[in-house]
Amino acid sequence: MVLAAGLGKRMRPITETMPKPLVKVAGKTLLDWGLDSLRQAGVAKAVVNVHYFPEQIVAHVAGRAAPKVVVSDESDLLLDSAGGIVKALPELGAKPFYVLNADTFWIDRGTSNLARLALAWNEAKMDILLMLADIASATGHSGGTDFLVDAEGALRRARNDPAGLIYAGAAIIHPRIFADAPAGPLSLNRYFDAAIAQGRLFGMKMHGHWITVGTPEAIPLAERAVAQAFAAAP
């Protein structure tokens, strides 16, 4: 599931004429950075939700072969992160699936981070497994830390504790957590907190460099980070 339905208000004026997921960094759209990561991890089908300039995203993904893209249309009502997933559940199925934010991406170092995330997944003890990044290995992040990780990998809110890590905009989620979800807009944070309370929210620290693009000014920083990351690759 690729969450691509946001309004991209902080990216104006660029997003006055296009949706944020189609903004390009280093010659590739933000959406394609995420879809390419899914392809590399062996994902055959991706659901992409749309709301703002939806026809542009529909046209952009129409010819994509891998992964095959199914569009979940939220043109009538923006459903937020969890609400968008709930609407798409008939396409996502009953097994755990990846969830990616369309405005963040990363440069892998070695093995695909999404493949590593799948290897770290333990259905018996996890409902949600988040990919996490160190602030020192991030570009474009203007906030504090999101989660603290214990010795077993279980998470709790960091509340900007400097020892914490950033949520890197990628996760594995089991659809059972949405069994009683109400219709309408819902935030994933509600489900993160429920999983913390039950000891079932876990995290995995990624390898490589993580990039978030929130404003037009962040684009050249992101492109520099991409160039440096590829230059440093063996």
Nearest to 108, CA basis, from 188, 6, 39: 39
Topology of 2-232 in CATH? Spore Coat Polysaccharide Biosynthesis Protein SpsA; Chain A (3.90.550)
Would the CA dihedral through 110, 32, 92, 185 be positive or negative?
positive
pLDDT digits (tens, 9 = 90+) for 107-162: 998 889 999 999 999 999 999 999 999 999 999 898 889 999 999 999 999 988 99
Who's near 219: CB < 8 A, 6+ residues apart? 23, 25, 213
Strands (E), the chain: 2-3, 24-25, 28-29, 45-50, 68-73, 97-101, 104-107, 128-133, 138-139, 147-149, 155-157, 166-173, 201-205, 209-212
pLDDT of amino acid 18:
95
- Sequence-ordered alpha helix ranges (H) in 93-187: 113-120
The model carries a pTM of: 0.94
pLDDT of amino acid 234:
57
pLDDT of amino acid 43:
96
pLDDT digits (tens, 9 = 90+) for 167-186: 999 999 999 999 999 889 99
Average pLDDT on 80-90 reads 95
pLDDT digits (tens, 9 = 90+) for 46-67: 999 999 999 999 999 998 889 9
Pairing of strands 2-3, 209-212: unpaired
Domain ranges, ordered by start, for the chain: 2-232
Would the CA dihedral through 218, 221, 226, 232 be positive or negative?
negative
Q: For residue 105, what pLDDT band results from cuts at 50, 70 and 90?
A: very high
pLDDT exceeds 60 at position 1: yes
Who's near 89: CB < 8 A, 6+ residues apart? 175, 178
Q: CA angle 155-156-159, nearest 5°?
A: 135
pLDDT of amino acid 109:
85
pLDDT digits (tens, 9 = 90+) for 192-225: 999 999 999 999 999 999 999 989 999 999 999 9
pLDDT of amino acid 142:
82
